[in-house]
């Protein structure tokens, strides 16, 4: 039986994209502590095309959606615990996936997972937002923040590339990577559809995981449409 997966602990040997993402997320969090409201208004992910929302019992005009929020939302977090666990997941699984994909492809992969996560979350929140003309499905309107969509896209890639690698759940329960990924996806789907996980962007998680899984399957030629073969110069 293979040994459970344990990522190296030395910061100096982290691959460049993961290392820079850890640094950027940390700097963004420090900036949030200083300029919290302004950063949330301009960089968090807000519903699109909504003129008025029911916010804390009052009809108000929400901050506007801007396209860059699809990416910048992944560098903001709701608190230190939120940041810590997202960065822990990025460190644990991101370095292995970056080493497998290479720096350039991993950069594109992570960016695609972030955008896929934000796009699905944007669709759901925009359609379900409580307005003057729509039923109140959510009592409050809050922005979406966090790197979870990108990190879970990386985890989905890990589950596909290393399906039988055992991961310690809660640091002492070994679970094969493929079952961990499927279990998390099922929980997010159940909570998202049932609305049982208030304050958690379940559809962003699902969007990131779906994007990550589809990209890995595409690059491995497992989908009906396949990537062009790479050419080598003579």
The residues, any chain, with a CB within 8 Å of residue 29's CB and separated by 6 or more, are 76, 77, 80, 83
Output DSSP code: residue 221: T
pTM score? 0.84
* Under 8 Å between Cβ of 90 and 21: yes
Query: Can you tell me the distance from the alpha carbon of 123 to that of 138, in angstroms, rounded to the nearest whole number?
Result: 14
pLDDT for 60: 61
Q: What is the mean pLDDT of each run of 10 residues along the chain (234 residues)?
A: 58 84 96 86 84 59 84 94 95 94 96 96 77 45 87 96 86 85 92 72 94 94 71 52
Domain chopping of the chain, boundaries? 15-219
94 has which bridge partners? Answer: none
* Under 8 Å between Cβ of 52 and 61: yes
* Under 8 Å between Cβ of 79 and 155: no
Helix runs in the chain, H state only: 16-43, 69-72, 80-89, 95-101, 103-128, 148-161, 177-194, 202-219
pLDDT for 138: 41
pLDDT for 229: 64
Of 1.10.3720.10, 2.70.150.10, 1.10.357.10, 1.20.1540.10, the CATH number of 15-219 is 1.20.1540.10
């Amino acid at each position: 039986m293979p040994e459970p997966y344990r990522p190296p602990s030395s910061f100096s040997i982290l691959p460049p994209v993961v290392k820079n993402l850890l640094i950027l997320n940390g700097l963004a969090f420090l900036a949030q502590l200083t300029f919290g409201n302004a950063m949330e208004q301009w960089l968090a992910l807000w519903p699109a095309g909504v003129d008025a929302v029911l916010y804390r019992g009052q009809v108000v005009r929400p901050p506007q959606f801007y396209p860059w929020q699809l990416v910048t939302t992944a560098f903001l977090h709701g608190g230190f615990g939120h940041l810590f666990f997202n960065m822990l997941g990025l460190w644990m699984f991101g370095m292995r996936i970056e080493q497998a994909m290479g720096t350039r492809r991993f950069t594109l992969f992570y960016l695609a997972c972030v955008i896929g996560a934000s796009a699905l979350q944007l669709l759901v929140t925009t359609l379900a937002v409580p307005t003057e003309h729509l039923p109140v499905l959510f009592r409050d309107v809050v922005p979406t923040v966090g790197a979870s969509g990108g990190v879970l896209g990386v985890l989905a890639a890990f589950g596909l590339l290393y399906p039988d690698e055992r991961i310690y759940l809660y640091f002492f329960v070994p679970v094969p990577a493929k079952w961990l990924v499927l279990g998390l996806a099922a929980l997010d789907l159940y909570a998202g559809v049932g609305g049982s996980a208030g304050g958690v962007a379940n559809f962003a998680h699902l969007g990131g995981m779906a994007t990550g899984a589809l990209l890995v399957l595409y690059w491995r030629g497992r989908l009906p449409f396949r990537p062009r073969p790479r050419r080598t110069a003579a």
